Structure 1
């Protein structure tokens, strides 16, 4: 596992209040594989909070992903939904948890909010 992955998971509790405002309530197990080795992360989400652990246990959803792909997700170079649709990763269980978790990933580099673009075009401050 990379240092970037460790830092990403460590940052989640501080970022949760701004990101988890909705219906996410449950445990998401994330399995990151490198060759024959798999590392688990348990992400327990509730509105406004998240708890991270490395334990295995009952989960409402399981997301399996290659560790290299996960590194691309945490840098915005790849998108979680696209990875699942292309069968580069697999998901089972409560899809709301996956949809909520993907909000922790950054936007692709160079992405701009279309509302900001429209405000600038209209001459209003962003």
Structure 2
């Protein structure tokens, strides 16, 4: 397990109140594979809270990814939905959990909210 992924999972409970709304209610198992080894993370999401463990268990959804891809996701260098659509990772089960979980990933480096850019430009005009 890489340090960046470990820190990402450790940060989830503190960030959950800000990120998770009412739609996320269930358990997502994340299986990260490197060579012939798979590490498991079980993420129990409820509105405003997350519980993370290193277990396998009953889950409403399972997301399979390589460890290398997941590292790119947690640093904003890749996007979760795009990775699934390109078949770089796979997902089964309750898609709402996947869509809610991806909100924990950062935006790509250099990305700016277009609304903020428009506000800044409007403020500069005479």
The TM-score with structure 1 as length reference comes to 0.97
Structure 2 gaps of 5+ residues are: none
Aligned residue number for residue 61 of structure 1: 61
Aligned residue number for residue 80 of structure 1: 80
Task: Tell me, in whole angstroms, the C-alpha distance in 2 between the residues paired with 1:123 and 1:56.
Answer: 52
Task: Tell me, in whole angstroms, the C-alpha distance in 2 between the residues paired with 1:53 and 1:25.
Answer: 16
Which contiguous aligned blocks of 4+ residues in structure 1 show a shift greater than 4 angstroms?
Answer: none
Post-superposition shift, 1:113? 0.4
Q: How many residue pairs end up in the alignment?
A: 124
Aligned residue number for residue 94 of structure 2: 94
Task: Tell me, in whole angstroms, the C-alpha distance in 1 between the residues paired with 2:22 and 2:95.
Answer: 13
Post-superposition shift, 1:21? 1.2
Structure 1 gaps of 5+ residues are: none
Q: Deviations over 1:15-55 (max 9, x none)?
A: 00000013100000000000110000000000000000011
Task: Tell me, in whole angstroms, the C-alpha distance in 1 between the residues paired with 2:4 and 2:120.
Answer: 34
Aligned residue number for residue 38 of structure 2: 38
Task: Tell me, in whole angstroms, the C-alpha distance in 2 between the residues paired with 1:3 and 1:54.
Answer: 15
Aligned residue number for residue 8 of structure 2: 8
